Amino acid sequence: MDDSQFRRVLDLFGLSWKGYRRVRKGVKKRLARYMQDHALRGMDAFRSALDNDPGQRAEVERLLSVSISRFFRDRELWRVIGESVLPEIVSAKPPKVKVWSAGCARGEEAYSFKILWEECRKTGDWVPELELWATDLKPEYLSHAQRGVYSAASLKEVPEEFRKKYFNPVEGNRWEIADCLKVGICWKVHHLIGHLPPGKDFQVIFLRNSLLTYYQEETKKLALAKIIEALSSPGFLLIGSHEKISRSFTELEPTFYHTAIYQKPGNQMGRPNPRIFFSSANPVGQIHPDRKADS
């Protein structure tokens, strides 16, 4: 399959050539293998199969999915989540905090948030109930996430203290998530295109390195509008560090916290007490219960 043919496949699903340009080699290999396994000789036969068999179309769409993730990917963003976003949310004293990891892949993002949440709970202060949804198009990714076993490479940005607390070594230089992190996460197969969000009034939605990177403009605008509707007011939308949101989405405002963090305006949550913070000595948001709020 050459690049021209691959672009035709992307167009069928509303996917962006720009988003796939750097990862196309691996994806093209998966598609070529699929065509060979299903005796689809040439693009005309491939296109006919997609047009006439919804099952094959869904399978090919899953093959087009790209998963590049690890725990605490983009550590600066996670520093800000721990130092500013979580304290601001908790300071408003909501009865429940709803979080959605959209396009969660193998679960590293959801578990990274859960680690910060567990650290927050250990301060001894009151912390609201957490409802954490983690969704992805690929059932096999969700099965992997629920097992919670990861390669050492996925943990390369996890500080040693967190590794000792929340990961157990298993055979083959792999690590298993602690049982306390597995509790309370709702894993669900979900397609960001064409499906409604799995709920509403989320205070935090992670939409990182998925919809905004891999879909064409018109496709992602329709999906993003539904996702913004599911965000509470106020609430935070977190995107990839290299992604942008069109100014046409006036419901969102950039924050001073981080260029990848947007907020849906509403009543102020109250000034946060920044007890979760990152520093050179404390690189990924350990809790410091003795630190006082800035006056």
Q: Identify the pLDDT of residue 107.
A: 96
Nearest to 208 by CA among 76, 134, 102: 102
Q: Are residues 188 and 94 in the same domain?
A: yes
CATH code, domain carrying 118: 3.40.50.150
Give the tens place of pLDDT for each residue, 120-129.
Answer: 888 777 889 9
Q: Identify the pLDDT of residue 267.
A: 56
Q: Are residues 212 and 113 in the same domain?
A: yes
Q: Identify the pLDDT of residue 162.
A: 94
Q: Identify the pLDDT of residue 104.
A: 95
Q: Are residues 191 and 224 in the same domain?
A: yes
Has residue 116 been placed in a domain? yes
Give the tens place of pLDDT for each residue, 42-68.
Answer: 999 999 999 999 999 999 999 999 887
Give the tens place of pLDDT for each residue, 151-187.
Answer: 999 999 998 999 999 999 999 889 999 999 999 999 9
Q: Identify the pLDDT of residue 182.
A: 94
Q: Are residues 218 and 248 in the same domain?
A: yes
Q: Are residues 115 and 261 in the same domain?
A: yes
Can you tell me the mean pLDDT for 24-45? Answer: 94
The DSSP-derived string for 243-256 is ----TT-TT-EE-S
What angle, 0 to 180 degrees and rounded to 10, lies between the N-to-C axes of helices 24-37 and 3-12?
80
Q: In the predicted model, is pLDDT for residue 282 greater than 50?
A: no
Q: Are residues 53 and 86 in the same domain?
A: no
Can you tell me the mean pLDDT for 227-235? Answer: 95
User: How far is residue 251 from each of residues 22, 42, 225, measured CA to CA in Å?
Assistant: 32, 45, 9
- What does the mean pLDDT of the chain come to? 88
The reply to whether the predicted model has a pTM over 0.85 is: yes
Q: Are residues 80 and 167 in the same domain?
A: yes
Q: Are residues 21 and 100 in the same domain?
A: no
Q: Which of 63, 91, 110 is the last residue of a domain?
A: 63
Interior CA angle at 218 toward 213 and 219, to 5°? 60
Cβ burial 204-237 (10 Å sphere, 16+ → b, else e): bbbbbbbbbbbbbeebbeebbeebbebbbebbbb
Q: Are residues 120 and 54 in the same domain?
A: no
What is the tally of structural domains in the chain? 2
Q: Identify the pLDDT of residue 68.
A: 79
Can you tell me the mean pLDDT for 286-292? Answer: 34
Q: Are residues 140 and 250 in the same domain?
A: yes
Q: Identify the pLDDT of residue 78.
A: 95
User: Where does the pLDDT of residue 13 fall: very low under 50, low under 70, confident under 90, or very high at 90 and above?
Assistant: very high
Q: In the predicted model, is pLDDT for residue 95 greater than 60?
A: yes
Question: Strands (DSSP E) along the chain, which ranges?
Answer: 96-102, 129-136, 149-151, 167-170, 174-177, 185-189, 202-207, 231-239, 253-254, 261-264, 276-277, 286-287
Has residue 287 been placed in a domain? no
Report whether 108 contacts 154 (CB < 8 A): yes
Residue 33 structural domain: 3-63
Nearest to 285 by CA among 177, 166, 162, 183: 162
Can you tell me the mean pLDDT for 230-257? Answer: 93
Q: Identify the pLDDT of residue 274.
A: 42
Q: Are residues 47 and 122 in the same domain?
A: no
Residue 244 has a CB neighbour count (10 Å cut-off) of 10
